[in-house]
Amino acid sequence: MAEYKRSTMIADSPSGYCPGCLHSLATRLISDVIDELGQGDNSLNVISVGCSALNLLYWSGDYLGVAHGRAPASATGIKRTNPERLVFTYQGDGDLAAIGLAEIMSAANRGENFTVIFANNQTYGMTGGQMAPTTLIGQKTTTTIYGRDPATTGYPMKMCEILSTLEAPAYIARFALNNPKGVRDARAGIKKAFEAQLAGKGFTFVELLTNCPTNWHMTPLQTLDYMNTNTIPYFKPGVYRDRTSEEAGA
Amino acid sequence: MKQTFVFSGSGGQGIMSAGITLAQTAIAMGRHATYLPEYGPEQRGGSAKCTVVISDDPIVSPLPRRCDILITMNELSYRKFEEDLKPDGVLLANSCLVKSAEPRDDITLISAAVDDIALEVGNPKTANVILLGILIGATDVVRLDVFEESLKVKFGAKSPEVLAMNLDALSKGYALGQQYK
Amino acid sequence: MGEKRFMKGNEAIAEAAVRAGCRFFAGYPITPQNEIPEYLSWRLPEVGGSYVQGESEIASVNMVYGAAAMGTRSMTSSSGPGISLKAEGISYLAAAMLPALIVNISRGGPGLGSIQPAQSDYLQATKALGHGGFHAMVFAPASAQEAVDVVYEAWDYAERDRNPVLVLMDGCLGNIMEEVELPPMREFTDEDIPEWSLSRRNGRDYQGNITPIYTEPILEGLNAMAGEMYKAWEEDDVKVEEFLVEDAEYVVVAYGIAARVAKEAVMELRDKGFKVGLIRPITLYPFPKKSIHDLDYSRVKGIIDVEMTIPAQMHDDIAQQVMERCPIFEYGRSGGCLLDDEGVYEAIYDIVTGGGADNG
């Protein structure tokens, strides 16, 4: 039976994430996989802007804080000059799917050999719960107080599906963190992405469906149910691209 | 001594390459040179102009208002830049395309059917080398033999036939230019 | 003796960067700087470096941010509109204390302005390259050779200060071909990789982190440190050419291409007996305050600010040093119309013979 212990990648200090927030779990999964792969010293976390930036306070490995939406660009500069490093970005939905859309599409299209972990909680958490590009139709936010209306705000963007239109990416997958199987699959997916990167297979993308009890105005348990009823039917978990077993550069 | 040249015409007439080659040849002779290209926004067929300053001393300003020698390869550029030629200057006009050139009484006009000669030589693209031949023949701006060396460096490796054609173009232009010396 | 070549200013900058140890470039096409990325796209791979054509100026400067964090000598180049887009990233470089070279080959502005050369970005370069009240050293070379010399040393300043450096040169100088003497290739090893960087090739075995965000008392301290650094630049790093100012009654202040054209005019006016001199800032920031402040205003009758932009943007920096001790005149061309030797000569001539308007 596996021993449950603190990951070496996370500092021994209280988390600043809200109670019940799945960012904590996502961070934990990433750090566990890094430990398992023995990549602690070699890893480099490119920390974006939003609640994801709280990792600046806890992450024990090398990290670079970057500008809002530009993590895939900065990671490109890192990985091109230091290809031996395990480089990953951790980005929220506003960061990746709104302000950083050009950067994520272009880095994926170039097949940059790093990993993007995309935390999709359908809202701007740190700024107080505004509408995100992934906010569901009808979902209430501080800038869609009657619920998101597609007539004026369009539809939630499915990043896995959008990125799957590109030739270059080696691995694209989406997992939901609101249930034990989803958590296990997510851990395996992150590991697969990191291993593929270390083998030089190219761009890897892992979307994690997360929650925001504070801004969804729900208890943590209610958010997990909401995800089952609303989020998962729209953002379908699954592996959208897997060329990790192919020869590098194929 | 300092001399200012303006080469003008339309894109594709070898204007820029003529300017660069002249400047490079001057430098090979131990003189100083600057080359300033000016393009319109078009990628093809627009106006092309470059300014070359050649001097025995280091060049202070590379932005002269007027020139000592104006080379116009077409009518449009002749009309546009004719007033920039200094008194006592030399106007070298391609008579195949510059039809309205009337000699100002304070300049020397060299009117040559550069395009026709290029066809005689065997390739319309040699027009700019003929032009430079005329220029060298008429003005002694650079030495003919040094210029021949630059042509050898430029074309020699590519193809002996192209080099021979360009040397032929150069000597035809040079002979023509000498008549105006 | 270095190696002599007849090169465009833009290409000279690119080759000098490579020889200075630049191993990462990211940029986006914009006229009149395209020869820099075009040159580096084939040249950097030859020396084991990386070139990336970014999806935008924004992405490009943030790629440089990532590469610079690894201790790699990194650069980007653009022209006015693109520098505006890079402004956020340049501010982040300053915040994260990352050395990098930014090159602005400037054109007519504002807006899309003109693709033709102009010196329209002095204020942007010296006052606010981005948000947050930071400064970068700004070098304004006046020839391809000086561009080579400045770029060759740019990362020495940037790494000393852990701060970006800007080279501001107009599109004319970027596209003029001149003879340059190239310095030798500088070689660096893994041991030269800065200790503060996120690289581990230098043997670092403890956590490294670089961030553009800080908690309150730390940020205030860093702001104060930056303020001290800017003061130190004024003491130690001002570069200026003073030409025939000792007895000058009229002093032209001009940088870059404008200074070259003005210098020729000054020489001609001297030949005719007019006591005219030239102060040419080579660093626009730190600005050569003393050169202007310490002039003998019992002799100097006027300062003439010549720039290839209208209105003159250096005016306020000059006026702060002149302190109303003499009038300040302006002459310029703008919007892609170039200065020329006769135009500048006539403008200065009119002023020294009493005909020019005082814009001070």
Q: Please, which residues 2-61 of chain A have a Cβ atom closer than 8 Å to chain C?
A: 41-42, 44, 46-47, 53, 56, 59-61
- The candidate with the shortest Cα–Cα distance to C91, out of C138, C131, C136, is C131
The confidence score (pLDDT) of residue A16 equals: 85
Beta-carbon contacts of residue B107 (< 8 Å; ≥ 6 apart)? B85, B87, B88, B89, B90, B91
Query: Are C229 and C246 part of one and the same domain?
Result: no
CATH number of the domain that C296 lies in?
3.40.50.920
Q: Please, which residues 135-174 of chain C have a Cβ atom closer than 8 Å to chain B?
A: 172
The confidence score (pLDDT) of residue C158 equals: 98
- The candidate with the shortest Cα–Cα distance to B131, out of B41, B28, B52, is B52
User: Strand A62-65 relative to strand A43-47: parallel, antiparallel, unpaired?
Assistant: parallel
Confidence band, pLDDT 50/70/90 cuts, at residue B41: low
How many Å apart are CA B163 and CA B124, to the nearest integer?
14
- The candidate with the shortest Cα–Cα distance to C231, out of C135, C123, C141, is C135
Residue of A nearest to C212 (CA): A65
Cβ contact, residue pair A81, C92, below 8 Å: no
Best interface-test mutation with C: which of A31, A58, A66, A109 has the largest number of C CBs within 10 A?
A: A66
> What is the token pair recorded at B89?
């200057």
Is the preceding omega at residue C164 within 30 degrees of 0, hence cis? Answer: no
User: Strand C3-8 relative to strand C24-27: parallel, antiparallel, unpaired?
Assistant: unpaired
- The candidate with the shortest Cα–Cα distance to B149, out of B21, B4, B47, is B21
Cβ neighbours of A85 in C, within 8 Å: 200
pLDDT for B136-163, tens place per residue? 999 888 999 999 998 888 887 778 889 9
The confidence score (pLDDT) of residue A235 equals: 98
Q: Higher-confidence residue: B10 or C86?
A: C86
Query: Are C197 and C324 part of one and the same domain?
Result: no
Cβ contact, residue pair A53, C213, below 8 Å: yes
Q: Name the helix (H) or strand (E) containing C237.
A: none
The separation between CA B157 and the C-alpha centre of its own chain, rounded to angstroms, equals 24
Angle between helices C9-20 and C144-161 (to 10 degrees): 40
Cβ contact, residue pair C340, B63, below 8 Å: yes
* Residues of chain C with confidence (pLDDT) below 70: 1, 355-360
CA dihedral C164, C165, C170, C176 (to 10 degrees): -120
Q: Which fold has domain A22-242?
A: Rossmann fold (3.40.50)
> Do C182 and C14 form a contact (C-beta atoms < 8 A)?
no
DSSP state letter for C190: G
Write down which residue in C236, C262, C279 finishes a domain.
C236
Cβ neighbours of B65 in C, within 8 Å: 340-343
C304 lies in a domain? yes
The confidence score (pLDDT) of residue A55 equals: 87
H runs (alpha helix) in chain C: 9-20, 35-46, 57-69, 80-95, 122-127, 144-161, 171-175, 216-236, 256-271, 289-293, 315-322, 341-352
Give me the DSSP letters along A134-146: TPPBT--BTTBTT
% chain C with pLDDT above 70: 98
Q: Which member of B27, B36, B60 has the closest CB to residue C264?
A: B60
Write down which residue in C216, C236, C256 finishes a domain.
C236
Helices and strands per DSSP (H, E), number in chain A: 11, 9
The confidence score (pLDDT) of residue B42 equals: 62
Contact C60/A at CB under 8 A: yes
Q: List chains touching C (3+ CB pairs under 8 A).
A: A, B
Q: List chains touching B (3+ CB pairs under 8 A).
A: C
C357 lies in a domain? no
Beta-carbon contacts of residue B69 (< 8 Å; ≥ 6 apart)? B3, B4, B5, B6, B85, B89, B90, B91, B92, B135, B139, B141
> What is the token pair recorded at C5?
């070549």
Q: Which member of C62, C70, C200 has the closest CB to residue A81?
A: C70
How many Å apart are CA C289 and CA C281, to the nearest integer?
9
Q: List chains touching A (3+ CB pairs under 8 A).
A: C
> What is the token pair recorded at C6?
């007849």
* Residues of chain A with confidence (pLDDT) below 50: 250
- The candidate with the shortest Cα–Cα distance to C135, out of C143, C147, C124, C145, is C124
CA dihedral C20, C23, C29, C33 (to 10 degrees): 0
The confidence score (pLDDT) of residue C171 equals: 97
For residue B11, is pLDDT > 90? no
Contact A105/C at CB under 8 A: yes
DSSP state letter for A229: I
% chain B with pLDDT above 70: 96
C115 lies in a domain? yes
Query: Are C165 and C259 part of one and the same domain?
Result: no
Strand partners, A120: A209
CATH number of the domain that B85 lies in?
3.40.920.10
Rounded to the nearest angstrom, the minimum Cα separation between C52 and chain A is 9
Strand stretches in chain A, DSSP E: 43-47, 62-65, 86-92, 115-120, 123-124, 130-131, 171-176, 204-209, 238-242
Q: Please, which residues 228-287 of chain C have a Cβ atom closer than 8 Å to chain A?
A: none
C360 lies in a domain? no
User: Residue C142 is part of which domain span?
Assistant: 3-236
CA dihedral C3, C8, C10, C15 (to 10 degrees): -20
Contact A83/C at CB under 8 A: no
The confidence score (pLDDT) of residue B47 equals: 80
In total, how many domains does chain C have? 2
User: Residue B98 is part of which domain span?
Assistant: 2-178
In total, how many domains does chain B have? 1
Rg (CA), chain B: 15
pLDDT for A97-153, tens place per residue? 999 999 999 999 999 999 999 999 999 999 999 999 999 999 999 999 999 999 999
The confidence score (pLDDT) of residue A250 equals: 42
The confidence score (pLDDT) of residue C360 equals: 43
Scan for tokens 């006026």, then name that residue: C319
Angle between helices B127-139 and B160-178 (to 10 degrees): 40
ipTM, 2 dp: 0.96
Q: Please, which residues 188-207 of chain C have a Cβ atom closer than 8 Å to chain A?
A: 198-201, 205, 207
> What is the token pair recorded at C11?
């290409």
Angle between helices A71-81 and C57-69 (to 10 degrees): 50
Confidence band, pLDDT 50/70/90 cuts, at residue B24: very high
First to last CA, chain A: 39
pLDDT for C14-47, tens place per residue? 999 999 999 999 999 999 999 999 999 999 999 9
Query: Are C143 and C79 part of one and the same domain?
Result: yes
C177 lies in a domain? yes
Domain ranges in chain A are 22-242
Cβ neighbours of A64 in C, within 8 Å: 66, 69, 96, 198, 209-211
CATH number of the domain that C104 lies in?
3.40.50.970
Degrees to nearest 5, angle at CA B100 with B99 and B101: 100
Residue of B nearest to C8 (CA): B35
The confidence score (pLDDT) of residue B38 equals: 85
Cβ neighbours of A41 in C, within 8 Å: 200, 205
The confidence score (pLDDT) of residue A246 equals: 85
User: For residue A81, what are the CA distances in angstroms to A104, C25, C50, C83, C201?
Assistant: 19, 10, 7, 24, 11
Query: Are C53 and C131 part of one and the same domain?
Result: yes
Phi-psi region of A92 (alpha: psi -120 to 50; beta: other; left: phi over 0): beta
The separation between CA C271 and the C-alpha centre of its own chain, rounded to angstroms, equals 32
Which residue type is seen at C290? Answer: K
Write down which residue in C170, C201, C236 finishes a domain.
C236
Residue of B nearest to C174 (CA): B36
The confidence score (pLDDT) of residue B40 equals: 65
The confidence score (pLDDT) of residue B180 equals: 87
